[in-house]
Amino acid sequence: MTHQPNGNVQPLATWLVVLLAALPTAPACGDDLNVAMGKLAERIEQRLDAEGESTVALNQFTAPARLAANASSGIRKALEKELKRREILVKSSARFEINGEYRVVDDPVEQKTVVRIIGRMVDQNNGRILSQYNMDVKNLTSIAGLVGATMVVPLDPVSADRERAILDGLRKPSARVDSTRISAGPKSHFALEILVGPSPDGELRPRGATVADGQAFLNIRTNERYAIRLINDAPFEAAVTLTIDGLSLFAFSDNPEYSYVIVPGRSSGLIMGWHRTNEVAEEFVVAEYSKSAAASRLLAPSADLGVITACFAAAWPANGNPPPDEGMEGRSIKATGRGPNTRTNFAEVERKTGRLRAAISVRYTKEDGPKDPPRP
């Protein structure tokens, strides 16, 4: 089930990888968001049982202002899924509400940078906090998607050196903009472009971005459509994990086990919308929050900015060899809505994936007129 690329820009991402078919090189990749939310759901279940309750409301998970991140939708979706697995009903009128925050912290035990999600159970009748739970996300791709990171991640054989580079990248974003091309650094093989429209001729065209405080910004107005071009200039395939406003590209897919797209070496793929099937996607449309994809998950607005994050890792056939440099050591308001259906061209392939090499994020302002990005 493969499609041979012609080496040029593809009209759509050509290959799709199923999460369960993707075999990581590392023996352990660290707790990802789903694992962390599974642990949080277990703790919530225990407290609800003690209180004789079986329903809970979910509210926002906020980030520090300096992150300009809005992953609340993704956190809530992952938590809701784990609660439903435990037959806990999510209902806004429930007596108890779960809300919280997330931030980048140093884990002194493992000597790694993690994202700590702090969940609180609050009695909605009187505002009293009943319990607080700390859950750490250790998987680097999950971390990058949560905080909207832009960084080049070196494949340093010395773990301590790699961790220092990761911490620097998370705290000091390094976005580089060359006209419409957004990358994590001048020597990075990976980049993205945001195409917006329609233009007078009905087409989507690449839109320029600017950089402030190391982060890339561009403007998309209400009711404009956009697409995301994933660019891989490396000589090997790249597995790209894509999140929009905290939600996975596959948040509304008929195949929710899908995880990332494969972009062939020295090629690119254009992602036109939320994946539904391998033949149909729902266009990315900036809409009033009540009509957005995040709102369809019954979430309150979580940020003034939307965030698109693409995480790039090397990929290779399950029976093939990784790139020579891969190694085997692992690391332990308004928003985007769902527009009309559009044709797409995915196919399933089986791939192994390596360590995260680059994360690229672009923050899009959602005003109805031109707007300058935040100033340092």
**Residue 147, H or E segment:** helix 140-147
Q: Of 78 and 329, which is predicted with more confidence?
A: 78
Q: Which residues contact 254 (CB under 8 A, 6 or more apart)?
A: 276, 277
Q: Which residues contact 321 (CB under 8 A, 6 or more apart)?
A: none
248-280 pLDDT, tens digit per residue, is 999 999 988 888 899 999 999 999 999 998 888
Provide the token pair at 29.
């990749």
Considering only 63-72, 184-193, 298-307, which range has the smallest mean pLDDT?
298-307
pLDDT of 110 reads 81
Whose tokens are 């832009």? That residue is: 150
Region 41-67: mean pLDDT is 96
Residue 370, SS3 per DSSP: coil
Q: Cα(31)–Cα(356) distance, rounded to whole angstroms?
A: 15
pLDDT of 3 reads 31
Q: Which domains does the chain have, with CATH numbers?
A: 15-29+149-365 (no CATH), 33-137 (3.40.50)
